[in-house]
Amino acid sequence: MNKLIVSLLLTLGITGAAVAAEGPLKGDATAGQAKAAVCGACHGPDGNSPAPNFPKLAGQGERYLTKQMHDIKDGKRTVLEMTGLLTNLSDQDLADIAAYFASQKGSVGAADPKLVDKGQALFQGGKLAEDQPIGGMPACKACHIAGGSGLAEAGFPHLSGQHAQYTAKQLKDFREKVRSIDGDASNKMMTDIAAKLSDKDIEALSSYIQGLH
C-alpha cells in the first residue's frame, strides 16, 4: 500500500482513539430527520440532491459528514451556501443529522460512456508520474474502495453516484488549495493527489464516479 496512505491511516487511527476516549456523540437518525429538514432544500429530503452542484449526502459515512459540518461551522471550510446555517446547531444536532443522512440509500447516477475507460483507469489504477516532477497519483480505490463506498470508520467518504459537477469542483478546489485546512492529514492528502490531475483527468474521473455503483 502507498506509504502516504499507510501514514494517513495511522494518523487517523491515533486521532480516532483519542476521540473514542472522550466518548464521541452517538447520532440519532430519527431525531436527525426533523433537524435535517432545512438541508432538504439543497440536498433533497433524503439526501439525494436533485441539483448537480449540491452533493448527495444519502449513504455518506457519519464520521465524514460530522467532520465536514464541524469544519464548515468552525470556519475551517468555506461553503458560501452554508453560511450561518449551522451556527445555532449543537454537536448533538450535527451528530443526529449525520446519522440520518448516513442511514439513507444513495441514488445511482450515470457516466458519460466516452469517459468511462479513462475515469476507470484513474480511479482503479492511479496515474503514473509521466513527466511530472511531483510523482504519480495513487489509485482512488485505495481509500474509497473499488466500488466507491469509502471507508466510513476511517473517515474516507462514499463517492459512488456523486454528481460529476460537484465532484469536479471539489477536485479543482483541492488542486488549487481553495479547499485546504492546515494540519488536516486527509485534506493534505487530497490536495497532493489533486495536484497531479489535469482538467481532462478530473472530467473523466468525476464522470466515472457519478456512474459508479
Q: Which residues are annotated as a binding site?
A: 39, 42-43, 82, 140, 143-144, 190
Q: What are the φ and ψ backbone dihedral angles of 151, each rounded to 5 degrees?
A: -120, 95
**Residues 6+ away with beta carbon under 8 Å from 136:** 126, 127, 128, 129, 130, 196
Show binding-site residues for heme c: 39, 42-43, 82, 140, 143-144, 190
Q: Which three cell numbers stand for residue 72?
A: 464548515
Longest dimension (CA), the chain: 52
Q: What's the rounded Cα separation, in Å, for the pair 144 and 155?
A: 10
Q: Is the torsion defined by CA of 94, 95, 97, 102 positive or negative? A: positive
**Residues 6+ away with beta carbon under 8 Å from 168:** 202, 203, 206
